[in-house]
Amino acid sequence: MKMVRRDEVIRKYLQDEKIIARFHSYTKKKPDGCIVWTGYTTAKGYGMFNIYYHGAVKAHRFAYALHYGIDKLPDGTDKTQKRMVVHHKCQNKGCVNPRHLESVTDRFNLGIVNDKNMY
């Protein structure tokens, strides 16, 4: 079977009401405004959302695409650190609150550049 790019999986199931309901069933609102992922998380703390047999996608990327649209979902990382990625403004890697997520360069996300005003 051909390997499916994870963002293509997100695109395919973004309008599926059953998938969206299942996604929300793995979230819990916290008093600080974070909506935390209660499903499987990686060793680094990122939520992973399993979409049928296509495998898992990062929960915060699914949340970002669900709220802002698949066309606004950044491509991800590369060796130059110039690509845009989904960043947690709240610094909680398990958070899927779209208001806590933003698109930034990979370089910013990795903490190489600390001053947001430079962008």
CATH of residue 51's domain is 3.90.75
Residue 1 belongs to some domain of the structure: no
Residue 55 belongs to some domain of the structure: yes
- In angstroms, the first-to-last Cα distance of the chain is 41
Q: What are phi and psi of 38, to 5 degrees?
A: -100, -5
- Of residues 37 and 80, which shows the higher confidence score? 37
The pLDDT score that the predictor gives to residue 76 is 65
The pLDDT score that the predictor gives to residue 85 is 86
Q: For residue 93, with 0-12 CB atoms within 10 Å meaning exposed, 13-18 middle and 19 or more buried, which class applies?
A: middle
pTM, 2 dp: 0.83
- Of residues 43 and 83, which shows the higher confidence score? 43
Strand partners, 41: 47
The pLDDT score that the predictor gives to residue 29 is 98
Torsion of CA 82, 88, 90, 93, to 10 degrees: -130
Mean pLDDT, the chain, whole residue set = 84
Residue 16 belongs to some domain of the structure: yes
The number of folded domains in the chain is 1
**Residue-number span of the structural domain to which 12 is assigned:** 6-118
The pLDDT score that the predictor gives to residue 104 is 87
